[in-house]
């Protein structure tokens, strides 16, 4: 008998290893590594991944697995291996690593049900519960709980009348359609048609249809076109003239869209220079990492497209990652327009079913290119020829829950396996990547000017303190107001950007400054217009907005809303003639609305596009000649050592939306801290200066890329325990690492309490600590097995959020 090693879906320290199971004879031919199976585990039936098939096991008494969940492996050999690497490098449970690689639809859910035991009849049961089991029906556990039936069911189960079963339920079914096809040649079909009795008018009509259209056709369509009924088709199927089959159809999220076909553009000489080494790497199958540093509008996307072209010609596959927020229809169009049906798209706007379908196309090798957000890095290709990460500086490439991986690291790991290049593209590379390029770990490729030498937009920085002194209390500086007016007169378009990150919408008393906080978490409640309520984004706590201030009883309670609404109102007052499209979470919540709003703007249905982060990237509209940033500094003051870098990147990206085509562009940045270097340098769009300046700061304060970071966070309901345990960990780490490492803590996390759990942290900064992984594992071993006392420990290697 074969034996399968299985990683079971029980995420704990003790179960984070393969368990061996016998493969029953009936599944002997079927079970392969990379398949999901159902196995018995203690009294339960659970899901697991087969990682290996073998013939011997050290364990004597093995249990049999129950059944496979897949007909073919969902993880190939390389991905199984990658899962081990993920586990090692991010210190996550193996089961999380494998689950992260699959679309959500494959993360099965279990349902507990109560059924009649075999051979039992409902009459044996007490009358109160009989009705639930008529016709061998089963009763959902949840329903039993709700109806207070558990104890009565338990009694019957003890007598052996009832049993509990676990049903694994896939959330998404493959979408099926019925397809009808002729079972013989046209000539034979014609003979058969003439043999039909003369009163079989309808049947003849259907066969006649197939004489003209001999290809398989969807049943629905056949019924419409041949004006037939299902009964008629059924009769022909019974006569074995036609066949009717269920076929898998893909839900195509872009079904009703026509992609304008594009052909490769002749490259400029600057583009030709940067693509050459990439093509050479593809050609020679030599793994290399390129950092494509190209200013906004320099034609990076065309480099991606033509590199992919080469990969496809070689019969290989390409993965393109873009940040979720810039996975706009415009971006997708550029890939679909060039490679048509060879492109699969994966992003969070798709339903679980649609994502699953896109994933299936990749798994079946029906597409050659996948364009997607972070998790698309796990696309189940087996012949990868290039991996491209656009806007590589984006922090959304780092996943914040287990497995806490960075897509860039995964990309490089996979590319090593496939001996292919990785291209990291950005107009504002992350400090880490640019430093690596300086050290020649990555190969730097530079596009230093815009297409056809079009100038970068000119940027003006406006000091809002001056405005206030001059008596202007509005959120628009005089300069920005004049320019907006000017563009409306010239019939050109403007983009107004409001940085939302940093100040969310909170509720404050105007008299005493009291801000309403969550009672469970040390964080302000967020204002929600719907129902006039306040919500906590961490624990879900909800409440009505108070009529009077709980602190001073004043009635002047004010909502500091998302801001965009307020800007829109104010625009209406000062520029009533302006047509405004507002894009924020409120206006883009419905499916397709994002796309529609952009389309309207593109079609010139508005003068001003007003929005948050979601309009900062990827837009390439010819008529935009003005970009206004309403408040540049909201992000500068976050407790995050990357806040200057993020501010610089964001301002540069938004500015890049202006003047990309014939018309020259202008940018106005409003700020209260014009002297801050990241704002000043964003004004001159000088990445090189910014890089040097910021590197000095990082060196001074021992931050990346000079040092690596590890963040250990402990949480507990009791403040004293969390402090003392963090202290222990700090001491332990200190005793184990070299004196080059800097250990900070114990310190309260920037958000010191979430959901009534206190949070303390220890931050390790280090350059070279060969034993650090072992040390961290030891900490996890100790705390993840000792969960009894309620203490939780999480470790984030190379953290991006220090909260």
Ligand X SMILES: Nc1ncnc2c1ncn2[C@@H]1O[C@H](COP(=O)(O)OP(=O)(O)OP(=O)(O)O)[C@@H](O)[C@H]1O
625: contact with ligand X by CB under 6 A: no
Length of the chain: 803
CA dihedral 746, 752, 753, 758 (to 10 degrees): 10
Query: Is 518 flagged in the annotation as binding?
Result: yes
Q: Per rule CB under 6 A, is residue 99 in the interface with ligand X?
A: no
Nearer to ligand X, 318 or 780 (CB): 318
The contact mask relative to ligand X for 333-352 (x = CB under 6 A, - = no) is: --------------------
Place of tokens 């700090």: 730
Site for ligand X contains 665 (CB under 6 A): no
300 near ligand X, judged by CB under 6 A: yes
- The tokens describing 55, both together, are 């013939």
Q: Is 762 annotated as a binding residue?
A: no
The yes or no reply on residue 268 touching ligand X (CB under 6 A) is: yes
Map the footprint of ligand X across residues 376-435, applying CB under 6 A: 427
Strands 3-8 and 44-54, by their bridges, are: antiparallel
| Cα angle value 316/318/321 (rounded, 5°) | 170
The interface partner of residue 536, options being Zn ion, ligand X, none and the CB cut-off 5 to 8 Å by kind, is: Zn ion
89 touches, from Zn ion, ligand X, none (C-beta below 5 to 8 Å by class)? none
Distances (CA, A) of 196 to 212, 215, 228, 234: 18, 22, 16, 15
> Minimum distance between the CB of residue 712 and Zn ion, rounded to whole angstroms?
23
- DSSP character at residue 689: H
Give, as one character, the DSSP assignment of residue 421. Answer: -
Residues 799 and 710: their CA atoms lie apart, in Å, by 7
Query: Quick one: 540 or 790, whose CB is closer to Zn ion?
Result: 540
User: Binding site annotation covers 536?
Assistant: yes
> Which is nearer to ligand X, 247 or 265 (by Cβ)?
265
Q: How far apart are CA 730 and CA 716, in angstroms?
A: 17
Is 92 known to sit in a ligand binding site?
no
Q: How far is the CB of 302 from ligand X (least distance, A)?
A: 4
Q: Rounded to an integer, what distance in angstroms lies between the CA atom of residue 165 and that of residue 158?
A: 15
Among 30, 53, 167, 267, which residue sits at the site for ligand X (rule: CB under 6 A)?
A: 267
Beta carbon of residue 656, minimum distance to ligand X (angstroms, whole number): 5
Shortest distance (Å) from residue 289 CB to ligand X:
19
Stretch that binds ligand X, among 295-303, 348-356, 433-441, 465-473 (CB under 6 A): 295-303
Residue from 51, 99, 298, 613 touching ligand X (CB under 6 A): that is 298
- The residue (of 298 and 505) whose beta carbon lies closer to ligand X is 298
- Which window, 165-173, 178-186, 261-269, 676-684, contacts ligand X (CB under 6 A)? 261-269
Maximum Cα–Cα distance for the chain, whole Å?
Answer: 97
* Distance from C-alpha of 258 to C-alpha of 242, rounded to nearest angstrom: 34
Residue-by-residue DSSP string for 270-313:
HHHHHHHHHHHHHHHT---EEEEEE-TTS-HHHHHHHHHHHHHH
Distance of alpha carbon 795 from alpha carbon 713, whole angstroms: 6
Q: Which is nearer to ligand X, 299 or 329 (CB)?
A: 299
Contact with ligand X (CB under 6 A): which of 48, 103, 656, 659?
656
Q: What is the three-class DSSP state of 573?
A: helix
* 291 is a site residue for ligand X (CB under 6 A): no
> Is residue 124 annotated as involved in ligand binding?
no
- Count Cβ atoms below 10 Å from residue 172 Cβ, excluding itself: 17
Stretch that binds ligand X, among 170-178, 297-305, 349-357, 495-503 (CB under 6 A): 297-305
Write down the residue that tokens 């390129």 correspond to. Answer: 290
Nearest residue (CB) to Zn ion, 556 versus 689: 556
Please, is 597 exposed, middle or buried when counting C-beta atoms within 10 Å of its C-beta (0-12, 13-18, 19+)? Answer: buried
Exposed/middle/buried for residue 525 (C-beta within 10 Å: 0-12, 13-18, 19+): buried
Residues contributing to the site for Zn ion (CB under 5 A): 509, 511-512, 514, 518, 520-521, 536, 538-539, 541, 549, 551-552, 554
State the nearest-atom distance from the C-beta of 112 to ligand X, in Å: 50
Cβ-Cβ contacts under 8 Å for 159 (sequence gap 6 or more): none
Contacts of 737 (CB under 8 A, 6+ apart): 743, 764, 766, 769, 771, 772, 775
Is there binding between residue 272 and ligand X (CB under 6 A)?
no
Which residues carry a binding-site annotation for Zn(2+)? 509, 512, 518, 521, 536, 539, 549, 552
Which residues carry a binding-site annotation? 509, 512, 518, 521, 536, 539, 549, 552
Give the binding site for ligand X (CB under 6 A): 265-268, 271, 294, 296-302, 427, 451, 618, 620, 656
């Amino acid at each position: 008998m074969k034996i399968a090693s299985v990683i079971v879906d029980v995420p704990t320290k003790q179960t984070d290893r393969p368990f061996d199971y016998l493969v029953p004879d009936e599944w002997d031919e079927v079970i392969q590594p990379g398949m999901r199976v159902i196995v018995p585990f203690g009294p339960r039936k659970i899901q697991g991944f087969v990682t290996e098939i073998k013939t011997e096991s050290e364990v004597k008494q093995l249990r049999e697995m129950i059944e496979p969940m897949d007909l073919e492996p969902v993880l190939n050999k390389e991905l199984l291996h990658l899962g081990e690497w993920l586990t090692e490098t991010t210190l996550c449970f193996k089961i999380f690593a494998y689950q992260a690689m699959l679309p959500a639809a494959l993360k099965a859910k279990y349902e507990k049900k109560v059924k009649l035991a075999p051979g039992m009849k409902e009459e044996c049961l007490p009358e109160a519960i009989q009705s639930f089991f008529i016709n061998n029906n089963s009763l959902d556990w949840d329903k039993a709980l709700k109806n207070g039936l558990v104890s009565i069911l338990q009694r019957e189960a003890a007598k052996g009348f009832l049993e509990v079963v676990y049903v694994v339920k896939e959330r998404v079914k493959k979408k099926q359609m019925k397809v009808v096809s002729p079972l013989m040649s046209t000539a034979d079909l014609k003979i058969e048609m003439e043999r039909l009795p003369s009163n079989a008018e309808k049947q003849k009509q259907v066969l006649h249809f197939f004489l003209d259209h001999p290809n398989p056709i969807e049943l629905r369509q056949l019924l419409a076109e041949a004006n037939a009924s299902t009964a008629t088709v059924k009769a022909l199927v019974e006569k074995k003239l036609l066949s009717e089959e269920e076929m898998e159809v893909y839900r195509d999220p872009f079904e009703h869209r026509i992609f304008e076909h594009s052909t490769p553009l002749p490259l400029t000489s600057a583009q030709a220079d940067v693509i050459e080494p990439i093509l050479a790497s593809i050609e020679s199958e030599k793994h290399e990492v390129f950092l494509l540093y190209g200013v906004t509008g320099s034609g990076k996307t065309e480099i991606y497209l033509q590199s992919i072209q080469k990969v496809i010609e070689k019969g290989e596959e390409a993965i393109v990652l873009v940040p979720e927020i810039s996975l706009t229809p415009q971006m997708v169009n550029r890939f679909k327009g060039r490679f048509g049906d060879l492109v699969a798209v994966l992003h969070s706007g798709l339903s679980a079913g649609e994502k699953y379908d896109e994933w299936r196309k990749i798994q079946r090798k029906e597409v050659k290119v996948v364009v997607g957000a972070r998790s698309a890095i796990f696309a189940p290709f087996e012949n990868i020829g290039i991996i491209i990460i656009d806007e590589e500086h984006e922090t959304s490439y780092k996943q914040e829950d287990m497995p806490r991986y960075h897509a860039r690291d995964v990309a490089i790991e996979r590319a090593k396996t496939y001996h292919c290049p990785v291209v990291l593209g950005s107009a504002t590379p992350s400090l880490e990547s640019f430093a690596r390029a300086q050290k020649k770990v990555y190969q730097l490729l530079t596009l230093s000017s815009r297409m056809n030498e079009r100038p970068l937009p000119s940027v003006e920085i406006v000091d809002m303190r001056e405005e206030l002194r001059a008596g202007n209390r509005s959120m628009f500086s005089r300069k920005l107001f004049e320019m907006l007016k000017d563009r409306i007169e010239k019939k050109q378009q403007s983009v107004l950007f409001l940085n939302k990150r940093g100040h969310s919408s909170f509720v404050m008393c105007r008299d005493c400054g009291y801000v309403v906080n969550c009672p469970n978490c040390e964080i302000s409640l967020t204002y929600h217009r719907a129902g006039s309520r306040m919500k906590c984004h961490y624990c879900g706590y909800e409440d009505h907005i108070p009529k009077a201030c709980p602190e001073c009883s004043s009635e002047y309670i004010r909502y500091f809303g998302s801001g965009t609404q307020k800007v829109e109102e104010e625009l209406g007052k000062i520029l009533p003639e302006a047509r405004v499209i507002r894009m924020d979470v409120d206006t883009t919540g419905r499916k397709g609305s994002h796309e529609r709003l952009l389309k309207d703007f593109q079609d010139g249905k508005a003068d001003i596009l007003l929005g948050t982060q979601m309009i900062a990237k990827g837009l390439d509209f010819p008529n935009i000649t003005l970009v206004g940033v309403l408040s540049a500094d909201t992000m500068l003051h976050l407790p995050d050592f990357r806040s200057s870098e993020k501010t610089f990147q964001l301002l540069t990206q938004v500015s890049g939306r202006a003047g990309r085509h014939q018309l020259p562009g202008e940018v106005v940045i409003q700020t209260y801290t014009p002297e801050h270097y990241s704002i000043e340098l964003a004004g001159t769009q000088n990445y090189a200066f910014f890089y040097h300046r910021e590197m000095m700061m990082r060196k001074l304060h021992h931050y990346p890329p000079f040092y690596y970071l590890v963040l250990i966070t402990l949480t507990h309901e009791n403040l004293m325990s969390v402090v003392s345990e963090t202290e222990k960990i700090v001491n332990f780490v200190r005793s184990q690492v070299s004196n080059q490492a800097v250990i900070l803590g114990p310190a309260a996390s920037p958000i010191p309490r979430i959901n009534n759990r206190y949070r303390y942290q220890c931050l390790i900064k280090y350059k070279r600590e060969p034993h650090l992984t072992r040390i961290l594992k030891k900490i996890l071993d100790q705390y993840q097995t000792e969960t009894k006392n309620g203490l939780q420990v999480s470790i984030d290697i190379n953290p991006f959020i220090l909260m």
